[in-house]
Amino acid sequence: MVVPELRPWRAARPHVARAANAVRPLLARAAGTVRPPLERAANAARPRLQRALAVARPRLARARRAVGPRLAALRAPRPRSVRTWQYTAGATTLGLVLASGVVTVAGPWDANGQRTAERDRAVALERTGGADHGRNADTSGSSDTTAGAPRPAPSAASVLVGLGGSTNTVKSAPNGPALADVLGPLLGDPALAGHRTAAVVDVATGRRLYGTGADDALTPASTTKIATAVAALSAMGGDHRLTTRTALEPDTGELVLVGGGDPTLTAHKDAQGWASLRDLAVATAKALKKRGLSKVTLSYDTTLYTGPGLHPIGVNDNLAPVSALMADEGRTDDSVSGPATRVADPAADAAAKFAGFLGARGIRMTSPGPSKATTRAQSLAAVSSPPLSALVERMLTNSDNDIAEALARQTAVATGGRASFDGGADAIAAELKKLGLPLRGARFHDGSGLNRDDRLTANLLTALLAKAGAPAHPELRPILTGLPVAGFTGTLTGRYTDGAAGVVRAKTGTLTGVNTLAGTVVDQDGRLLAFAFLASDTTSPAAAQSALDRTATALAACGCR
C-alpha cells in the first residue's frame, strides 16, 4: 500500500539527489580552504586554554565541595506530586522523546499511524483474494478487474507487547491513591460541574488504576466512535475493503452503478489513494466499448443499506444522509473533513458525477435514476477502498461521522443484521458482547455519537482501548494508531500546544452540555495508560475542554507511585 505522505518525497528525491551531488564538490573545496586556518588557530589557542584550565581547576573543586550536600539533599527520595500549571511547553519536547522511547518498546510505527510490522507482515504473507474477501457478493469485483484488484492487507501481528514485561526502563504502574491525589482536584473543576466520571487503566495488564463513577453511563458524544471501530474491526478484520462497481443487465442494456457503502469514494481528480469514481468511469467505458456499446440506460443501486438515511438530528453540516453510494461524503466544497454543507441526495449526486465522467469518455446515457442490480447483471468494473484499518484511522483522527455511520452499517451487513441506524447500533453492541466487554448501562443508537441518547461508561471506554492494545487482538490495533495526537493531528491539532503535546493520544467528544475525552498517555515512568473522562451538563464548552486537557496533561506528567 502506498503511503500518501511519502509521495511528495518520492517525487522530490531525484531533485534532492542532483542538488546534493552538485553541491558536494563545492563543500569539499570549501572545507579544504578553511581547514588550514582553523588548525593554525586551534594550535595557537591551545596553550591559553591549558593555562586557563589550570587556574580554574582549584576553584571548581571548592565549588563542588560546597554544593555537594545540597545536591545530595535534592537527590534524596521524596513524595512525588504534580502541579499541572508547572507542566509547560517544555513537555512538548520531553514528551515526544519519552513517547518515542516507549513506542520503541511497543513496536515500530510509521508517520501515517500504521505499524511497519503490519506492512512487513502483509508483504510476507502475500495473500491473494477479492477486494471484499467474498463477504458480499453484491459488491464483488468484476472478472475484468480481478487481476488488478488490490491485495488484502492482513491484520497486524502481535507487536504491541506489555510495556512492563520485557524492559527494565519501564517502572511499575501508578497506584490508585496517588492518582486520586492528582486527578481528583482537576476533575472537581467547576467547568465540569454536573456529572463527571473517569477511569484510568494500565494497558499492559488491563488493571484499573483509578475510577470515579466509572460504571455510570453518560452521553459519550464522539468517543462512541471508539466502540464503532472495535466492532467493525472485530466483525470484518482490518484487511476488509469496500467496493463500488458497475454492472450491465444483459437483457435491457441497463448500466447500474452499485454502491458498496464506501464513504471515502471520491470524485476529486487527485484521489490521494482512495477509491476513485473517475477511475471507475474510465474502466466502465472501456468495458462497454469492448462490448460494442456507446449508449446505455444509467441507474444506481443503494439497496445495500436500509431504513432512513437522515440521522435523527436532522439536516446537519456534520453528517450527510447515510447512503450506500456517495462521493466525497456529499460535501458541496473541496473539504475532506469537518463540517460542510451536504447535498440532499448523496446517491443521486454521485451518479450524476459518474455520468459526467462517462460522457467525457464517449458514452451516451439517460439521466440516472434509482434501481437494483439483478443477480444476472454482469459486473464490468470496480474500485475498492483502502483497507478497513485505514478507514478506521481516518474516522478517529478526523472524528468523521460519515465513516462512522458507514462502519456501523457495514458491521450489521457483516453479521447478518439490518443495515440501518438501529441495525448498526444492535450490531455494535452484539460484537462488543462477543469480545467480553463491560456493556452494563451502555446504549447505542448510532455509530457516530451524534445521538444524545447514546450511553457509555468510562469503564467501557478504557476497556475498549485496553482490548485494542491486547496482544490477542492485533486486528484492533488501528484504534490506537488512529487516535489524534495532541498538538499534531486531527481534532487535537490545536490542543495541548502548551502541555502534553505528542504524549496524549485521544478521541474527543463534544455536544451541547457534553464534553468527553478518551485515549492513551505515556506517563513519566513509561507506562502506557488508557483513560476516559466524561462530563455532562457542562455550561462552557471551551472551559470544560480545557479542564479535561489539564487532567490528561497531569496524567501524562504523573509518576504516581
What is the widest separation between alpha-carbon atoms in the chain? 102
Amino acid at 193: A
Any idea what the Cα angle at residue 432 is, between residues 428 and 435, rounded to 5°? 150
- Could you give the CA distance from residue 367 to residue 518 in angstroms, rounded to a whole number? 47
Please state, as a whole number, how many other Cβ atoms lie within 10 Å of the Cβ of residue 24.
10
Sequence-ordered list of residues with C-beta below 8 angstroms from that of 376, at least 6 positions apart, any chain: 249, 250, 251
Contact of 106 with 159, CB cutoff 8 Å:
yes
- Helices 401-414/224-236 angle, 10° precision: 40
Q: Which of 140, 155, 225, 385 is catalytic?
A: 225
- Helices 346-359/277-290 angle, 10° precision: 50
296 membership: H or E segment, kind and range: strand 295-301
Q: How far is CA 237 from CA 153, 279, 388, 477, in A?
A: 10, 26, 7, 11
State the SS3 of 47-84: HHHHHHHHHHHHHHHHHHHHHHHHHHHHHCCCCCCCCH
- Could you give the CA distance from residue 484 to residue 490 in angstroms, rounded to a whole number? 5
C-alpha closest to that of 301 among 383, 356, 369, 384: 369
- Could you give the CA distance from residue 348 to residue 421 in angstroms, rounded to a whole number? 21
276 part of the active site: no
C-alpha closest to that of 310 among 340, 351, 344: 344
Q: Which of 155, 276, 399, 448 is catalytic?
A: 399
Contact of 262 with 436, CB cutoff 8 Å:
no
**Alpha-carbon dihedral angle through residues 328, 333, 334, 335, given to the nearest 10 degrees:** -80
Q: Which residue has the cell 464490468?
A: 380
- Could you give the CA distance from residue 24 to residue 503 in angstroms, rounded to a whole number? 39
Residue 26 CB-density burial (10 A; 0-12 exposed, 13-18 middle, 19+ buried): exposed
b/e 99-117 (16+ beta carbons within 10 angstroms → b)? beebeebbbebeeebbbeb
Q: Which residue has the cell 435514476?
A: 369
Q: How far is CA 51 from CA 39, 42, 44, 452, in A?
A: 19, 15, 13, 77
* Per-residue cell: 195: 456529572
290 part of the active site: no
Q: Which of 155, 222, 276, 379 is catalytic?
A: 222
Concatenated DSSP letters of 418-458: --SHHHHHHHHHHHHHHTT---TT-B-S-SSS-STT-BB-H
C-alpha closest to that of 481 among 462, 459, 507, 499: 507
399 part of the active site: yes
Residues assigned a catalytic role: 222, 225, 399
